[in-house]
Amino acid sequence: MTARMDRKFADVASEGRPVLVTYFMGGDPDFETSLSIMKALPKAGADVIELGMPFSDPMADGPAIQLAGQRSLKGGQTLAKTLEIARRFREEDQRTPIVLMGYYNPIYIYGVDRFLTAALDAGIDGLIVVDLPPEMDDELCIPALQKGISFIRLATPTTDDRRLPKVLENTSGFVYYVSMNGITGSALPDPSLIAGAVERIKTHTKLPVCVGFGVKTAEHARAIGASADGVVVGTAIVNQIASSLTEEGKATDATVPGVEALVRGLSAGVRSARLAAAE
């Protein structure tokens, strides 16, 4: 539902702070723990949730998210189960937008129409599908938009002014600016460079611009949030989960509280971000 996303961005903007977008991998390390993590995120201060759909060949992801996907698949996760996590979350929370993030093949195999119907039913608001550039919009983007599900596109440092209009054309919800050329989990570049890029994108669109890839600490969140409409944190959360597991990769009592504590800190970071901008 596009409306829930737009409302959330408007509400948070009226608080005078950037949006905190949190990513985790659905089914990591198991279905129930993953559902508990998802329920804990908004309570700890997350505004938007990116729910990762595991894929055997995550070409744009670094080691941390690759391993999370492997743990999830090993635990028996499937696309249907990831949708089920969202549906169970929605029973309790009707306000937090959910964006599914992953790769195209599991969706293609599930069947695009069947997937979109199931996603709407599960309360999904948006999709990020890494390997579907605008050239492939007929596959999923256009059908999703027709059903009222946002299609959120990544813009990267290689997306120059010539290409940006094409990338933005069918984008809705928000624009996800990838802070560097590379895979998830790399180091964060200089925030001032990112601010320049956000400004550049904003001359082409009225959509909110969220920045991700490399944001790991409250301090990062604060620095990036000074210029961006939102901050996306993924690998740091996935690493937090990984560090709480037993050697066999099973959840422990520390798994959910660890994520809560991390997200609470990140949330404090975005809540002081505009102060950072004013400094």
Partner 1 sequence: MNEAPKLNSFRAGPDEDGRFGIFGGRFVAETLMPLILDLQDEWDKAKNDPAFKAELDNLGAHYIGRPSPLYFAERLTAELGGAKIYFKREELNHTGSHKINNCIGQILLAKRMGKTRIIAETGAGQHGVASATVAARFGLPCVVYMGATDVERQAPNVFRMKLLGAEVKPVTAGNGTLKDAMNEALRDWVTNVDNTYYLIGTAAGPHPYPEMVRDFQAVIGQEAKDQMLAAEGRLPDLVVAAVGGGSNAIGIFHSFLDDEDVKIVGVEAGGKGLEGDEHCASITAGSPGVLHGNRTYLLQDGDGQIKEGHSISAGLDYPGIGPEHSWLNDVGRVEYVPIMDHEALEAFQVLTRLEGIIPALEPSHALAEVIKRAPKMGKDEIILMNLSGRGDKDIFTVGKILGMGL
User: Which residues have a catalytic role annotated?
Assistant: 50, 61
Q: Does 105 bind partner 1 (CB under 8 A)?
A: yes
- For partner 1, the closer of residues 44 and 155 by Cβ is 155
Among positions 93, 131, 219, 260, the unique one binding partner 1 when judged by CB under 8 A: 131
Site for partner 1 in 28-47 (CB under 8 A): none
Burial of 278 (C-beta count, 10 Å sphere; 0-12/13-18/19+)? exposed
Q: Does 249 bind partner 1 (CB under 8 A)?
A: no
Among positions 156, 170, 205, 217, the unique one binding partner 1 when judged by CB under 8 A: 156
Q: Does 73 bind partner 1 (CB under 8 A)?
A: yes
SS3 of residue 135 by DSSP: helix
Q: Does 60 bind partner 1 (CB under 8 A)?
A: yes
50 vs 1: CA distance, rounded Å: 14
- For partner 1, the closer of residues 102 and 269 by Cβ is 102
Contact indicator for 128, 176 with CB cutoff of 8 Å? yes
How many CB atoms are located within 10 Å of the residue 265 CB? 16
Q: Does 64 bind partner 1 (CB under 8 A)?
A: no
Gyration radius from the chain CA atoms: 17
- For partner 1, the closer of residues 135 and 253 by Cβ is 135
Inter-axis angle of helices 191-202 and 218-225, nearest 10: 40
Q: In whole angstroms, how close is the CB of 12 to partner 1 at the nearest point?
A: 25
